Structure 1
């Protein structure tokens, strides 16, 4: 039975406790109706218990729907970096750039054998240029596991980004990237690809939206330069942008489109699910542009498409006619793309800004993205 924060048993237990507390309050309230310190403290305690238990059940229900955190470990570790254990692998030309913290056990299609279903490594990527680091997972398909060092450079690479707030674990537990990739390869719909699964939050708790912040975190540099160099060196993969794609949901989708449009020498194709098309400013982001309105304007993807030359990249956007507030902007984005850029779309009849909708879009978007990558 799964008692993780995103699991149904945890939600059911929280709802059961909330109902029990409410029932106890109804039963005990007449006894606490008098005056005096003890009745007042009793009523206050009951109200506090109702608030806490009902609030916990509500927060678990919201998390179950939107998948912000996949486990209690994800929730507790979001704002800290796990220590790298002694003996962690940091070898190769990019020594220290990719640190393998261990492997994640997983099971799919009746097997747990990495030689059959591939291997998922938990990694910390440390950026030489940006000075930032990010945690995530790298999925190595079974074909990569069996390949010689020389053949590994032939594998395309996909960087998959979650939204904010979130953790890399939801890309495995909720959106099932490795599982879908393995199924697509076995069905002959997709070539084997290495997947790098991360969150765009590389300066927690700040939501940098993959922006190089003046005097602050250089998030774009981390994803466009540092991550690619580190992963390519450590895993023997090609660095050519033609072999690299990026995709994501929500803020991760905005990052994907922006990385392709702003750094086409890093990513030649991008797919975005329910993406906003401009960076926002709120309590989580702070001032991303150092008060420079022009810099903020250039981070607006619709403005870029309409006012700047478009690079030779392929862009896929996904939305829903009903239930998705970004749908009108998605149509504007598609209409604004001009050669040599190319636009593609996945438009559902109905959906929403949630993991249930994104789970319907990921299989087609992933297959589309890998189909546009050619490392050589």
Structure 2
């Protein structure tokens, strides 16, 4: 059950599958203040599920995502798809959490979901403050078994990195068409810290008991080569499956086509709603 205190959530958009709400989360552990969007599945307010905790899926967008998130608009209509699939018994009804990734839209200020020395601690905000916020406000699955991450492009980097760094919090992740080597200019002079936040390094350490599905667009030879090479480096107990989207390009329109399959994969690898 929610632990409180309750956040000030305001409706910012209606979808065919219910409203999207938003709040500004002032992270007590990180000191970072950023926008977080929330969608609750229809089952959440169904009396039959009144005492159930729900799985949580945090979504990261492509690009800088400073003040916006493409999972909150019709570009990536994951809310509608999840509602349809969960109604049909093909996917879990997920609580969807959609935070910003950056605090500045300039690529030279990219934080890469990390605590870069001398910069806002957005890695702590994402890995600790956001899960604390979710547990404070919503009925969730106990432990890590119902907590997943998914992102596209830059968001794929974030989802892979955070899952590898925090297997105590997250059990599964889906990096869609991602990259795995931190390249923000803000890392200059901090090579040791950069490598400690590199999915390219973390994947081979054998320290994360996490399940992943890594995807690449089949029409992009550079991308498929990059993702395949990363998948091959995975060391147990980490498991990484690879999926190549036939003819897929590095476009939001192709990311959209991936949503049904990725939600079903996540549902097979995460716990569903459970009674308290």
Q: TM-score, normalised by structure 2?
A: 0.88
How far did residue 165 of structure 1 move?
Answer: 2.8
Verify the 8 A CA contact 1:208 1:219 in the aligned structure 2.
yes
Q: Which residue in 1 is equivalent to 2:121?
A: 218
- 1:196 pairs, out of 97, 105, 117, with 97
Q: Which residue in 2 is equivalent to 1:162?
A: 61
- 2:248 pairs, out of 327, 345, 351, with 351
Q: Which has the higher contact order (CA 8 A, sep 6+)?
A: 2
1:106 partnered with 2:15 = yes
Q: Which runs of 5+ in 1 are unaligned?
A: 1-91, 108-116
Distance 2:74 2:36 in 1: 13
SS at match of 1:131: coil
How far did residue 222 of structure 1 move?
Answer: 0.7
How far did residue 176 of structure 1 move?
Answer: 0.6
How far did residue 169 of structure 1 move?
Answer: 4.5
Distance 1:253 1:372 in 2: 18
- 1:144 pairs, out of 25, 44, 65, with 44
SS at match of 1:124: strand
1:275 partnered with 2:175 = no
Whose helix fraction is larger, Structure 1's or Structure 2's?
1
Distance 1:174 1:275 in 2: 18
Verify the 8 A CA contact 2:40 2:95 in the aligned structure 1.
yes
How far did residue 187 of structure 1 move?
Answer: 2.3
Q: Deviations over 1:326-355 (max 9, x none)?
A: 211111121111221111122122122111
1:323 partnered with 2:223 = no
Q: Which runs of 5+ in 2 are unaligned?
A: none
Verify the 8 A CA contact 1:118 1:145 in the aligned structure 2.
no
Q: Deviations over 1:163-210 (max 9, x none)?
A: 123422554310111011011112221121111123312455532110
Distance 2:128 2:71 in 1: 25
Distance 1:301 1:347 in 2: 19
Please show how residues 355-370 of structure 1 align to structure 2 within 5 Å.
355-370=252-267
Bigger Cα Rg = 1
Distance 1:185 1:323 in 2: 32
Q: Which residue in 2 is equivalent to 1:131?
A: 31
Q: Which residue in 2 is equivalent to 1:181?
A: 82
Distance 1:287 1:236 in 2: 37
Verify the 8 A CA contact 1:319 1:346 in the aligned structure 2.
yes
How far did residue 234 of structure 1 move?
Answer: 0.9
Q: TM-score, normalised by structure 1?
A: 0.66
How far did residue 268 of structure 1 move?
Answer: 1.1
Verify the 8 A CA contact 1:313 1:342 in the aligned structure 2.
yes
Verify the 8 A CA contact 2:57 2:94 in the aligned structure 1.
yes
SS at match of 1:330: helix
Q: Let me know the Cα RMSD of the aligned residues.
A: 2.2
Whose strand fraction is larger, Structure 1's or Structure 2's?
2
How far did residue 124 of structure 1 move?
Answer: 2.2
Distance 2:72 2:18 in 1: 16
Please show how residues 1-376 of structure 1 align to structure 2 within 5 Å.
93-95=3-5, 98-107=7-16, 117-147=17-47, 151-153=51-53, 155-166=54-65, 167-202=68-103, 205=106, 206-238=109-141, 240-281=143-184, 286-288=185-187, 291-306=189-204, 308-323=205-220, 325-374=222-271
